A and B are shown apart, each in its own frame.
Chain A
Amino acid sequence: MSLLGFFDWLATTAGSIALHESHYAYRIVSTVHVVTLSLFVGTAAMLDLRLLGATMRSVPVSEVARRLRPWTAAGFVLMTVSGALLFYANPSPRYLNIFFRAKMAMLVLAGVNAWLFHRNVFPRAAEWDNDPVPPRRARITGGLALALWALMIVSGRMIAYDWFDCGRQPQPAIINLLEGCLTASR
C-alpha cells in the first residue's frame, strides 16, 4: 500500500471521522496546538536568545536551560500530540500539501540542530557558562534554532493557503513533484 493509500484509509477510521466531522473537538485541538506551540517556541526562543548573548547575559546558560526546560518539554509534548491529531483528522490533504511538507522538513532540521546541540555543544557548556556572549558554535545553533522554528510556524500557517493544490493544473513538474500530485485526478 502506498503512503497515500494508507492516509486515505486512515481518514476512514472512526477517530479521524469523529475529529473532522466534530462540532467542537477540532476547534479545541487546533486551539491547544496554537497555544502550546507558543509555549514551546516561546521558551525555546529564550534559551536560543541566551545562546546568542542577546538576553539574560548575567545568568549562566545552564541556569537558563534548567529553568526553562520543563516548560519547553511540556509545550513540545502537547504541541506534538495536538499536531498529530490535526494531521489524523485530514491525513491525505495534509500529505499532499507543499507547506505541510516544508513544515515537516523544518521539524526534522530543527530536531537535528537540537540533537547536535545536546551532543556537541551543551556538554561543554561549563567552559563558557558565565560568558555574556557564548562561543560561536553555541551562537550558531541558537540562531539556527530560532530561524528554523520561525520558518516552521510560517509553513504551518501557510498550510491553509495551498497555492499549489493538485487540482490546479497545469503546474510546473517540480511543483507537482514536491506537492506529491501523483496523477491528474489528485
Chain B
Amino acid sequence: MATDGDADYSGYTDEQLTEAAYNVDRGRYPLNAQRLLDEQERRRTQAAPAAAEPVRALTPEFHADGREYFRIWIVNLALTIVTLGIYSAWAKVRKLRYFYSNTSLAGSAFGYHADPIKILKGRVIAAAAAVTYFAATRYSVFATLVVFGVIAAVMPWLVVRSRMFAMRMTSWRGIRFGFRKDYLGAYGALLGWMVLAVVTFGFMLPYAACKRYEFIVNRTRFGATAFDCHPRAGRFYKTAFAVGGMAFVLMFVAGLLATWLASALGGVSASIGGPARVVQGVVFLAYIPLYALIHGYTESRNLNEVFRTTTLGDLRLKCQLRARSLMQIYLTNLLGIVFTLGLYTPWAQLRLMRYRLGAMSVEVSGTLDAFVAGTEGPAVGAAAEEIGDFLDVDFGF
C-alpha cells in the first residue's frame, strides 16, 4: 500500500497528469494531490519562458468519435423532422458545439455559445427570404433578376453580420473571437472586385477571391488581437489556371470515353436510350470527380496560401492541406453518403474536419497566455448568418 506523499509525477506525460488529477483522491492523499497540482503548475510556467524558447508548432487536436457523433446526428435529424424544422436551430448549435469543444489547441478546447432561440429567429427570417426567392424564380425572369440584384447588393452586409455573429459565439480559453464591423470595406472587397471580375470575363476572379480572404481574415480578431493576413494574388492565379487545365483535361477524357462507349456499345446502347443517353450518363458521372477536383484543389491551395501569410500577434499560422488527400476525401465521402443512403454522413463530416484540423498548425515561440479580451460590440442577430447559410455564402475556416 502506497503512503501519501511518495508519488513522483515528474515522469508523467501531460495527459497522464491530467488523468491523475482527475482520479486522485484528495481526501486520502492530500499531499499527492498537492504535488500533482505543483507539477502541473511547474510545467505550465516552464512551458512559458520568454524569448529563448525555440519555436514549436502546435496542431489542434480533434477528439470527436464517429459512433458518438452518429447518435447526435440522428437525434438532431429526428427531432428536426418531428418538430417540422423548428429544432434545426438547436441541432445546429449542438453540432457546432460538438465539433468546437472536441477541438483543442495547447490543451484548451474551443467553445460555441450561440443561443438556439436567436438562431431560430434568424432561420425564420431566412425561410421568408427563401420563399420569396423561389416564388420569384417561378414567377418570371425579370423578378428573378431583381431578386439576384437585391442579393448581390446586400451580400457584403450579410457576410459582415454573419461573421460577427459566428465569431462572437466562438471562444478559446474564455476569450471570444470577434469581427470588425466594416461595411464599407466589405462592399469594396466583396462586391467591388466581384463586379470587376464579371466585367473582365472572369479574369479578375482569382484576384477577387484573394481580396475576399484578405478582407475576412484581417477583420477577424481573437480578443483584442487582430489577425493579419497578406495572401499573394499570384498564387491564386496559379491555382486557378492549374484547376482550369485539369478540369478541361478531365472533361475531355470523359468526352472521349463517352464517344468510344457509345460506338462500342452500338446496338446495345439503343436499348438504354440511344447513344445520346450514354454520352449524357458518362458526362454526368464525370461531374463527381470534377466536383472533387475543383473543390479539393482550390480549397487546399488557397487556404494554404491564406494561412501561410497570416499572423496573430506573435503567432504564425500554417496550413498544409494536400490537394490529393482532400480530393480523395471529398470523393469517397460523396460515394459513401450515396451508397449508405446518407447514414455515412456523420463519419464523412468528421473525416473532413479531422483532416482539415490536422493540416493546420500554430507556430509559437513564447506563451499563449498573454492574449487579452476585446471589448464586446453590440449584440448581433443570427438572421444574416442563416440567410448566408441558405445562399451558401460560407467563409468559415
Q: Do A and B make up one complex?
A: no
